[in-house]
Structure 1
């Protein structure tokens, strides 16, 4: 990374369009436990316990099926502190898990979709 000014220092937010933003925010709050504030969004602290020290950015080829079955051109990855508790929370809310990634050198992964069809990768770092 360069030490010259005029560079990216981190992700400042993830913004999505939704046919029903309030219902989507409620789903993220109730199902995933995201602390959605009265202004409609959530502020995720980089220094939260268990948060990974870096955020990834990556471009995939147009032909990639990595985001499937989502119709969106992006996927959101959220770091979680306890994958087993998250899996239990998802089950209690009848959210199907698309796939598990248990044998990964980066940690544990599962993939789900939100009510708008956005694929979400949940990751518990090692």
Structure 2
């Protein structure tokens, strides 16, 4: 079974996400949108097309809970259900919920250092 296929996004906490986004826009050229992040698209011309997100969250966000870090990495996966089942069989701390939306399917695992890791199966067209 293929597990991780790429990085889907990098998310982190900030005391002032708007100011931080402006700094990244002004100094590094990121096209930070109203939702607080940017989307890097890649692929095409015969290779798989996809995207990687960059986004700052408010310092008090609960999105990364129960992880203990100020960041979270989102990995692209080919088959979320199969991977979550394999991780459970391997004794990993897999969170009991998954989310399904027009953006795809999401699940989470906590690594040995307490970091919440997001696993994302994109919709078929991405």
> Does the pair score TM above 0.5?
yes
Report the Cα offset of residue 51 of structure 1: 6.3
User: Which SS does the other structure have where 1:94 is aligned?
Assistant: coil
RMSD value, Cα: 2.4
User: Which SS does the other structure have where 2:52 is aligned?
Assistant: coil
In the aligned structure 2, how far is the partner of 1:118 from the partner of 1:108? 20
Bigger strand fraction: 2
Report the Cα offset of residue 105 of structure 1: 1.1
Counterparts in 2 of 1:44-123, with a 5 A limit?
Answer: 53-123=50-120
In the aligned structure 1, how far is the partner of 2:86 from the partner of 2:48? 19
Q: Tell me if structure 2 keeps the 8 A contact 1:79–1:124.
A: yes
Structure 2 unmatched ranges of 5 or more: 1-27, 31-41
User: Which SS does the other structure have where 2:69 is aligned?
Assistant: coil
User: Which SS does the other structure have where 1:89 is aligned?
Assistant: helix
User: Which SS does the other structure have where 2:56 is aligned?
Assistant: coil
1:125 maps to what in 2?
A: 122
Q: Tell me if structure 2 keeps the 8 A contact 1:112–1:120.
A: yes
